[in-house]
A and B are shown apart, each in its own frame.
Chain A
Amino acid sequence: MDAFAQGLLEILKGWGVSDAWLPDTVTTGLILKAIFAVVVVLAIMGCCLYTVLLERKTAAWAQGRVGPSITTMPLIAAIPLVGKVLTYCGFIQPLADGGKLFMRQEPLPEHVNKFYYCLAPCLALAPAIITMVMIPFTSYINPETGEETALMLCNMNPGFVFMFAISSLGVYGVVLGGWASNSKYPFLGSIRGSAQMISYELSLVLAILPVVLITAGTSDNPLSLFSIVQGQGGFWNIILAPLSAVIYFVALLAEMNRQPFDMPESETDTVGGFHTEYGTFKFGLFFTGEYLHMILGSILFVMFFLGGWHALPFMPTLGLDGVLGTLLGIVCLVVKVIFMLFVIIWIRWTVPRFRFDQVMRIGWKLLLPFAIANAVAYFVFFGIYETLLK
């Protein structure tokens, strides 16, 4: 981040801004981090809203409908042409949806455990936001030294391990919400949810091991997300470890409670699942948490397997460096994440829900053995490669 700040200062100086107006490098770094933190949280929350829009639009397309296309705002409607296009795309719809959740009367059922009932939505949302801290959104390459630094709030060494640890806490929101609701459907939903998340967590992590092994070949710190993305300057991991990608993706769907694994809230058999008793803003928090998990999952998948912010295999920056390269990296990441989100939503509107016994069978009897076999295969391969071939 400091390096990025320095680069930015130099660009500003190059534009003729005098030194007196500019702070020193460290201060700039701190200011940038603060701005970055606020921007990240706001952007991610905004992304949540627009992911909902993407969900609604994709659902509409998959069903031959138009989807939200009427909601508008006076100012936006007044813009010629663009206003119409934005309206047709449902640009304002998420704001209306969010506003509706805010403005509704806030019910608090009589029979619930009030404290945990209110705590559960926060628990569902908080881990997802915390993990955002550790995501490198792109890198900055110093044009002069060629040194790469990550554009992230906190580049921890254990990296994604910490991230998995935190994001797994999201299940507590589900469990607590279902239990505190003191009602049978939420209870059933939360039990299913916790069982499912625990089952798929194993495969999820096992599927990453080959990626770590691959990264270990190029980096000293293979557990850091930044190193993993850096390692994909050539081949992307999806090419090097395709089975891992598939296993990871399936487990990811289950972790995110997305169709076909949305056991905790399957409307048809448990009404609304764990959030049956929730409404308005508290429901909104669950809802946002769910979509945050989805965005986070997509980002991680992109980081692990799709080359992160790299534009193309073997052409990570398309020859751009410095601040321009950084911006290109962000654009690439955003495009890839949107694609992943689309794929996830696309699957939801294609595949029906699994039965709970099927979920368990797939998790334990199919996914886990494959994940173990896959990991062992790479161990063996790298063992042979390291000891014999080198």
Chain B
Amino acid sequence: MATQNIKVITRKPLRWWEKLYIPQVLAGMKITLGIMLRKPVTLKYPFERPVIPKGYRGVPTLVKDQNGREKCVSCQLCEFVCPPKAIRITPGEIDPESGNEHIEKAPAEFEINMLRCIYCGMCQEVCPEAAIVLQGEYSLNGYSRSGMINDKKKLYELGGTIPDPVRKWDKKKRA
């Protein structure tokens, strides 16, 4: 400590009018008045929603491709990588009549427990099919613990469609 180059600065003594506080108070009031005359910076939240930036890590969802095919093939890597173990997948086989039988595998049930989810985005990072995406939805609530578990139907509702630029499975079907 002693070797440090410490410069002691003495506080400037207050002038007599500063000791009265009143000029300072008035100066402060001028500042607050300026703020009062400005437009409010807040959003009226439930009625106005903020603009969600791209890449925002909101609620994890499942997405379909441009053909309405569910992208998830239930490889369970997200279930494996999920740090709080929020994801639970029951794998299933695709119906041979569905037209997507060449993909063979799809989740029979896919549950994300939003009480456990920590929005880390590792599921999205690990997904080989780009099927699980953390999207803009940030506000979720429920009346019960079971209500906070998003099932497959809910996840696809939240997810919507994100086109698949590679179209790997389409190529495979044509081949």
Direct contact of A and B (CB under 8 A): yes
A45-90 residues with Cβ-Cβ distance < 8 A to B are 58, 60-66, 69-70
One digit per residue, 1 when the CB lies within 8 angstroms of any chain A CB and 0 when it does not, for chain B 161-175 equals 000000000000000
Q: How far is the CB of B34 from chain A (nearest CB, A)?
A: 10
B38's partner among A58, A64, A350 (CB-CB below 8 A) is A64
Q: Which of A58, A60, A66, A70 has most chain B Cβ within 10 Å?
A: A66
> Smallest CB-CB separation from A64: which chain B residue?
B41
Do B25 and A351 touch (CB < 8 A)?
yes
Do A64 and B25 touch (CB < 8 A)?
no
> Smallest CB-CB separation from B39: which chain A residue?
A64
User: With the chains together, A65 CA to B38 CA distance in Å?
Assistant: 10
Residues of B within 8 A of A246 (CB): 22
When A61-B35, A63-B35, A64-B35 are in contact, do A347 and B44 touch as well, CB less than 8 Å? no
When A350-B29, A350-B31, A366-B20 are in contact, do A58 and B36 touch as well, CB less than 8 Å? yes
Residues of B within 8 A of A70 (CB): 44
When A58-B36, A246-B22, A366-B20 are in contact, do A66 and B44 touch as well, CB less than 8 Å? yes
With an 8 A cutoff between CB atoms, is A172 at the interface? no
With an 8 A cutoff between CB atoms, is B90 at the interface? no
Do B40 and A64 touch (CB < 8 A)?
yes
Do A65 and B36 touch (CB < 8 A)?
no
User: With the chains together, A366 CA to B21 CA distance in Å?
Assistant: 11
One digit per residue, 1 when the CB lies within 8 angstroms of any chain A CB and 0 when it does not, for chain B 23-36 equals 00100110111011
One digit per residue, 1 when the CB lies within 8 angstroms of any chain B CB and 0 when it does not, for chain A 321-361 equals 00000000000000000000000001101110000000000
Do B29 and A69 touch (CB < 8 A)?
no
Chain B facing A: main interface SS: helix
User: With the chains together, A347 CA to B22 CA distance in Å?
Assistant: 11
Residues of B within 8 A of A362 (CB): 21
Residues of A within 8 A of B40 (CB): 60-61, 64-66
Q: How far is the CB of B45 from chain A (nearest CB, A)?
A: 10
With an 8 A cutoff between CB atoms, is B10 at the interface? no
Do B42 and A64 touch (CB < 8 A)?
yes
Do A62 and B42 touch (CB < 8 A)?
no
When A62-B35, A63-B35, A64-B35 are in contact, do A347 and B42 touch as well, CB less than 8 Å? no
Do A350 and B44 touch (CB < 8 A)?
no
> Smallest CB-CB separation from A346: which chain B residue?
B29
Do B42 and A350 touch (CB < 8 A)?
no
Do A349 and B32 touch (CB < 8 A)?
yes
Do A62 and B32 touch (CB < 8 A)?
yes
User: With the chains together, A349 CA to B25 CA distance in Å?
Assistant: 11
A66's partner among B29, B32, B35, B42 (CB-CB below 8 A) is B42
Residues of B within 8 A of A64 (CB): 35, 38, 40-42
> Smallest CB-CB separation from B31: which chain A residue?
A350
One digit per residue, 1 when the CB lies within 8 angstroms of any chain B CB and 0 when it does not, for chain A 285-303 equals 0000000000000000000
Do A350 and B28 touch (CB < 8 A)?
yes
User: With the chains together, A104 CA to B20 CA distance in Å?
Assistant: 44
Do B36 and A350 touch (CB < 8 A)?
no
User: With the chains together, A64 CA to B33 CA distance in Å?
Assistant: 11
Residues of A within 8 A of B32 (CB): 62, 346, 349-350
Do A350 and B25 touch (CB < 8 A)?
yes
User: With the chains together, A63 CA to B34 CA distance in Å?
Assistant: 11
> Smallest CB-CB separation from A348: which chain B residue?
B32
Residues of B within 8 A of A58 (CB): 36
Do B25 and A347 touch (CB < 8 A)?
yes
Residues of B within 8 A of A366 (CB): 19-20
User: With the chains together, A120 CA to B42 CA distance in Å?
Assistant: 39
User: With the chains together, A285 CA to B132 CA distance in Å?
Assistant: 56
23 sample A-B contacts, Cβ–Cβ < 8 Å, listed by A number: A58-B36, A60-B40, A61-B35, A61-B36, A62-B32, A62-B36, A63-B35, A64-B35, A64-B38, A64-B42, A65-B40, A65-B42, A66-B40, A66-B44, A346-B29, A346-B32, A347-B25, A349-B32, A350-B28, A350-B29, A351-B28, A362-B21, A366-B19
Binding site for A on B (CB under 8 A): 19-22, 25, 28-29, 31-33, 35-36, 38, 40-42, 44
The 9 closest A-B pairs by CB, nearest first: A61-B36, A64-B41, A350-B28, A350-B32, A62-B32, A66-B40, A65-B42, A350-B29, A65-B40
